[in-house]
Structures are given as structure tokens and as C-alpha cells.
């Protein structure tokens, strides 16, 4: 899944966080990340887990927008 980040300066922080949560991540643009959860077999389950991780990350970065692109 692709994740769009409003502040490219925080990209490395987001990459590190998602990696620590067990995601496989790759930067694919200046503020765009490709992420997947290998432990999730179903797409909807992976999407839910990723949503939860992103909400938690956003709590520590107020004002920063992250959005999963389908």
C-alpha cells in the first residue's frame, strides 16, 4: 500500500516507525512510501493494521497528515 505523507522531512521517522512495527517499507517518492505487512494474509486486515499504526504515529506528530492511497 502506498502512504502519502504531508511533511517529507518526517519521512525517515515514519519509515523507522513502520519498520519497527514489522512492516516492509520502501521510499518511492519524496513524501511517498510503499508499505506492506507480511504477517497479514488478507488485504483488508493489512489495511486495518496499517491504519492503526499510522494513527498511533500521527499522535506523536500533531498536524502531520498521512493517507493510504488505494
Across the range 12-20, mean pLDDT stands at 96
Give the pLDDT confidence of 27-69 residue by residue, as tens digits.
Answer: 999 999 999 887 656 778 888 899 999 999 999 999 999 999 9
Residue 70 above 80 pLDDT?
no
What pLDDT score was predicted for residue 67? 93
Say whether 53 sits in a helix, a strand or coil: helix
Which stretches does DSSP call E strand in 1-70?
2-5, 23-29, 32-37, 66-69
Confidence category of residue 15, pLDDT binned at 50, 70, 90: very high
What pLDDT score was predicted for residue 27? 96
Count how many residues are written for the chain: 70
Amino acid at each position: 500500500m502506498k502512504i502519502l505523507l504531508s511533511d517529507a522531512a518526517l519521512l525517515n521517522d515514519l519509515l523507522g516507525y513502520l519498520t519497527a512495527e514489522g512492516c516492509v517499507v520502501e521510499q518511492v517518492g519524496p513524501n511517498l512510501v510503499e508499505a506492506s505487512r507480511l504477517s497479514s494474509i488478507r488485504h483488508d486486515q493489512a489495511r486495518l493494521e496499517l491504519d492503526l499504526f499510522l494513527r498511533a504515529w500521527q499522535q506523536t506528530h500533531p498536524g502531520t497528515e498521512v493517507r493510504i492511497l488505494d
